[in-house]
């Protein structure tokens, strides 16, 4: 009883402290029955091979006794090498499950999941984009899993049916090379309309919507904000004159802009921030008309060899503790768990004008829309 009371009191203290934005030291933290520390709800701790997830109840923080884990785990990871490495290492340290990863783009992931459908080589897909999960679900490659931690994640950042759950969110923004803009005599862009400035001829770098989720987000944002595919394509046609080249990867423009090959890139803002941290003269801005966003999620692979560990990994990935690893490895995406620490390098989503992005509709329209982009926009001569 005493311990329970301590737990309750401590958890209140934790909540007050976290609300006031102070760092919580273990001394202030809740202590569970086995004496383990549970600093935040959504945190995963493990002792003696038993993993627990700190979840929220009306009483505060407590542990959900989890399954006993063993064996090894293979993650196919779409985030950066460093982030994937930090995540899997932390999970191994916590649970003793030997966790390894392969970093693959989402297209390669789907291709490999499909090729090994009958004998999956991966257990978890971490860091995939919503549209990739959509394709994997249709192909029967991922499996529904409702993590207990899932309830903490805002509903708009997860699949309603539980096939995947969001771990991070990235907002589309403009990434400007301040030196180049100065040279061209152009102000930092604040709207989609600013990008059509004739002074920016062949000065904008963006990816191709077929190969890059980032660029498709750009395209769909135009469709959403202008009201129709027709209008969206029309905008992209105008923008086409100012495009240097359509890169294959969504992050590509950051380097291109960073070294002054182009003046402005249309990228997810966190990639621009990471570029600026490398020492590139970059500045992030957002369009006033509204911008789009992406969700990176985590999903259970169908027929996973070690489903218990895979589910525990998903619980872990959704926890505040795991998500907080992001900024430590230069990943500045907005984290989906509301209890995570806010890093000043992350974008404050609440302050942004965001379009009403319909992921399902976007995914359904993708193939036809990118084909249209290919034949009507990308091949047009630049005038």
Closer residue to another protein, CB minimum distance, 107 or 227: 107
Measured over the CA atoms of residue 3, residue 324, residue 18 and residue 354, the dihedral's sign is negative
Find the DSSP H helices in 20-142. 81-95, 106-115, 130-138
Name the minimum Å distance from CB 40 to another protein: 27
Binding flag, residue 245, another protein (CB under 8 A): yes
Write the burial class of residue 91 (CB in 10 Å: 0-12 exposed, 13-18 middle, 19+ buried): buried
Per CB under 8 A, the list member of 23, 27, 379, 383 interacting with another protein is 379
**Number of residues near another protein (by CB under 8 A):** 62
Contacts of 298 (CB under 8 A, 6+ apart): 124, 125, 126, 127, 128, 164, 165, 167, 313, 314, 317, 318
Per CB under 8 A, the list member of 128, 252, 326, 327 interacting with another protein is 252
Name the minimum Å distance from CB 19 to another protein: 35
Answer whether 98's CB lies under 8 Å from 92's CB.
Answer: yes
Binding flag, residue 281, another protein (CB under 8 A): yes
Burial letters 98-116, b for 16+ CB under 10 A, else e:
ebebebbbbeebbebbeee
Binding flag, residue 335, another protein (CB under 8 A): no
Binding flag, residue 120, another protein (CB under 8 A): yes
CA distances to 28, 288, 312, 346, 347 from 351, rounded to whole Å, are 32, 11, 34, 12, 9
Per CB under 8 A, the list member of 102, 186, 226, 352 interacting with another protein is 102
Per CB under 8 A, the list member of 32, 159, 271, 315 interacting with another protein is 271
Binding flag, residue 135, another protein (CB under 8 A): yes
Chain contacts with another protein (rule: CB under 8 A): 74, 80-82, 85, 100-108, 110-112, 114-116, 118-122, 132, 135, 180, 202, 208-212, 244-246, 248-249, 251-252, 254-255, 258-262, 271, 274-275, 278-281, 305, 367, 370, 374-375, 378-379
């Amino acid at each position: 009883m005493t311990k329970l009371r301590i737990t309750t009191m401590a958890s209140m203290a934790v909540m007050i402290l976290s609300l006031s934005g102070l760092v919580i030291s273990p001394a202030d933290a809740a202590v569970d029955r086995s004496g383990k520390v549970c600093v935040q709800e959504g945190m995963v701790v493990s002792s003696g091979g038993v993993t627990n997830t700190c979840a929220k109840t009306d009483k505060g923080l407590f542990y959900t006794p989890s399954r006993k884990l063993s064996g090894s785990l293979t993650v196919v990871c779409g985030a950066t090498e460093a982030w994937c490495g930090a995540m899997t290492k932390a999970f191994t340290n916590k649970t003793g499950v030997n966790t390894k990863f392969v970093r693959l783009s989402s297209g390669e992931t789907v291709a490999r999941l499909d090729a090994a459908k009958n004998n999956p080589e991966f257990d978890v897909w971490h860091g995939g984009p919503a549209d990739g999960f959509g394709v994997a679900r249709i192909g029967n490659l991922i499996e529904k899993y409702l993590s207990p931690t899932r309830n903490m994640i805002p509903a708009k950042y997860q699949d309603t049916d539980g096939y995947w759950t969001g771990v991070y969110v990235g907002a589309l923004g403009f990434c400007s090379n301040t030196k180049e803009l100065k040279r061209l005599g152009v102000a930092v862009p604040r709207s989609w309309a600013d990008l059509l400035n004739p002074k920016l001829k062949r000065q904008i770098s963006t990816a191709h919507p077929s190969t890059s989720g980032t660029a498709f987000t750009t395209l769909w944002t135009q469709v959403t904000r202008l009201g129709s595919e027709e209008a969206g394509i029309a905008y992209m046609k105008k923008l086409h004159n100012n495009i240097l080249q359509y890169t294959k990867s969504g992050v590509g423009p950051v380097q291109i802009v960073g070294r002054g090959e182009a003046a402005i890139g249309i990228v997810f803002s966190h990639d621009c921030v990471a570029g600026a941290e490398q020492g590139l003269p970059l500045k992030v801005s957002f369009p006033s008309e509204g911008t789009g966003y992406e969700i990176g999620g985590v999903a259970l692979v169908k027929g996973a060899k070690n489903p218990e560990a895979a589910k525990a990994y998903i619980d872990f990935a959704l926890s505040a503790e795991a998500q907080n690893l992001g900024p430590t490895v230069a990943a500045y995406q907005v984290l989906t768990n509301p209890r995570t620490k806010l890093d000043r390098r992350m974008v404050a989503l609440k302050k942004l004008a965001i379009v009403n992005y319909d992921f399902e509709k976007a995914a359904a329209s993708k193939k036809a829309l990118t084909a249209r982009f290919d034949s009507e926009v990308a091949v047009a001569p630049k005038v």
